[in-house]
Amino acid sequence: MFDFEAFFELLKEVTVDCKDDGEHFVVDERLRVIEGLLTESKYHIVAREPLALIYAKKELSCGDNVVLFSSHVDCLQNNSFCTCEGEYLRGTFDNSFTNAVLLWVMMNDLLPENIVVAFTGNEETDSLGATQVVLTMGKKQCGISFAVTLDVTNVGWNEASFFTIENDACIDMLSAHKIISSLNEYRGRYSFEHNAEPDESWLYADYGIPSFSFCIPASGDLHSDSGVLLRRTNIHNYIKVLLKLTNTLC
């Protein structure tokens, strides 16, 4: 059962500063919050890179094939905040919102064992955190069968979409059919943008990994200190669809 108040408290906790200089994190408040929140979960850190923190439920072994959920933690805002304004949330949610979503499903043990979760840096510039994830998985000789990038977006706000699918690449027709079929009940309530603004999904596709971005629509300048608006009613739907996609991809 989704508890909005508990999720909102989690979102507030994770909406703190996090920045990197292209080589390593120089402000790591959010990373420290993430590590603290996952201490009592079933997840453990399988790799700690200069620009990526990678979690899994089990040790990764040679020959494993995993689904990757990737959510960047670096932000451009200088004033992190999170408030509730009736039917809307306002805050600096690029990208604390999907950080909180992943923490929610991880802490509530809602993901299967073959999901690897990466919290990455440098997305706002070169996506070097995502590069480090791919290289690290390669060193562990683990295949990535699919990569889903979670983020916020301006796409779909005016249409009151629950979520968006963006930047799909390297996906075979059968997998594409399964994904779209799993979303039939949301037909007309989500937006699709094949070529949206560049994000980590572009980087994963460069490595030949089937990928797309799964985003929640927001209103406002994503990088502004004044924050953006999210529809409160979209949050539960976004999480439900993420879990539905998980079942399809795994």
What's the confidence (pLDDT) of residue 158?
Answer: 97
Question: End-to-end CA distance of the chain, in Å?
Answer: 22
Residues 6+ apart with CB under 8 A from 134: 144, 203, 204, 207, 209
Average pLDDT of the residues of the chain: 97
> Considering the domain 4-249 in this protein, what is its CATH number?
3.40.630.10
Do 116 and 124 contact (CB within 8 A), yes or no?
no
Residues 6 or more apart whose Cβ sits within 8 Å of residue 119: 31, 34, 52, 53, 54, 55, 71, 72, 73, 99, 102
Task: Quickly state the pLDDT bin for 61 (edges 50, 70, 90).
Answer: confident
What's the rounded mean pLDDT across residues 205-221?
A: 98
Cβ pair 159, 191 in contact under 8 A = yes
User: Does the structure show a pLDDT above 90 at 103?
Assistant: yes
Q: Is residue 1 pLDDT above 90, yes or no?
A: no
Does residue 62 surpass a pLDDT of 90? no
Crossing angle of the two packed helices 96-107 and 234-249, in degrees rounded to 10: 60
Per-residue model confidence (pLDDT) at position 63: 85
DSSP 224: -
Q: By percentage, how much of the chain surpasses pLDDT 70?
A: 100
Query: Going by C-beta distance under 8 Å and a sequence separation of 6 or more, which residues neighbour residue 192?
Result: 164, 165, 166
pLDDT attached to residue 185? 95
What global pTM score does this model have?
A: 0.97
Q: At residue 146, what is the residue type?
A: F
Which contiguous run of DSSP H or E holds residue 5?
helix 4-14
Tally the residues of the chain: 250
Rounded mean pLDDT of 95-114?
97
Q: Which of 200, 199, 231 is nearest to 217 (CA)?
A: 231
